[in-house]
Amino acid sequence: MADQGDYDRVRRPGIRIPPRLLIAGFIALITVVGYFANSSKNTLTGRTQHIAITPEQEVALGLQSAPEMARQFGGLSADRQATGRVQKIGSALVRSLPAEATAYPFEYHLLADPKTVNAFALPGGQIFITEALYSRLESDGQLAGVLGHETGHVLARHSAAQMAKSQLTQGLAQAVGVAASDSAQGAQNAAQIAQAVGGFINLKYGRDDEIEADLLGLRFMQAAGYDPRSMVRVMEILQEASGGSGGGKPEFMSTHPDPGHRIERIKAWIQETFPGGVPSGLAK
């Protein structure tokens, strides 16, 4: 006959799950489900992306952010001739873009910063290049390559996708922190580890995005009448800026993959696209 102890063990089998783990699991589940529920196919790239905002919201976000971004780089350039050249080449690119571009009112800006070698795109079509990078470029074709690359980021919706990934990793980091909340130090360490892992994930996809933007930029500049081979020289200029004296690694290089690797991808694209040679008459 079973004693009282045996009876208690039968009534209370298994291991009790701490409430913090249940809460952490719920946070992680909601975060992951929310991320994957917002998916759409980009008709330009053919990729399925997880994005939580609409193109209209991207445009609004970019317009709202543009003044502050310009201020961080010394404001807009006072060089009217150079500004006009940036806008002229940007307009040429826009006129040759595919139908998917119609949702975005592109604007191209030259920033006054003479030291920071950089170019970037905000969501929705606000595109910037600094005087420091502009002054290193040697031709209209090279400028078209840089602006085409940034235009590629917008149409591939890379910023919106990165925002969604950031929300995913932040949510998972929060879940890890809750799960480890039996001690304050444990929660902090776990959250830091989770955020670091998330950072590596985002960096990987960010580098993939840069390569995709290169290839889109090549398409756009060639359609607008510029020689895609000019982009090879852009990569060489970035390599020179990276190794030059007094400046160190340019800001453009902090997120963009190594130019040497990108040169090989660019040359391969040109060879595949124009096996009989690049058409004559394109602006270099």
Domain of residue 247: give its range. Answer: 55-158+207-273
Residue ranges for the chain with pLDDT beneath 50 = 7, 9-10, 193, 197-205, 244-251, 253
How far is 169 from 161, CA to CA, in rounded Å? 13
Apex 196 CA angle, 71 and 150, nearest 5 = 40
Say if 188 falls within a structural domain: no
122 by DSSP, 3-state: which? coil
Say if 69 falls within a structural domain: yes
The pLDDT score that the predictor gives to residue 228 is 98
Q: How many domains does the chain have?
A: 1
| Sign of the torsion formed by the C-alpha atoms of 51, 166, 214 and 94 | positive
Say if 267 falls within a structural domain: yes
pTM: 0.77
Neighbouring-strand partners of residue 226: 283
Contacts of 114 (CB under 8 A, 6+ apart): 74, 130, 131, 132, 135
Give the pLDDT confidence of 74-99 residue by residue, as tens digits.
999 999 999 999 999 999 999 999 88
Amino acid at 36: F
Instruction: Provide the 8-state DSSP code for 81.
Output: H
Say if 35 falls within a structural domain: no
Say if 64 falls within a structural domain: yes
How far is 127 from 63, CA to CA, in rounded Å? 11
Give the pLDDT confidence of 110-158 residue by residue, as tens digits.
999 999 999 999 999 999 999 999 999 999 999 999 999 999 999 999 9
Say if 112 falls within a structural domain: yes
Say if 92 falls within a structural domain: yes
Kind of pairing between the strands at 126-130 and 119-121: antiparallel
Say if 17 falls within a structural domain: no
229 by DSSP, 3-state: which? coil
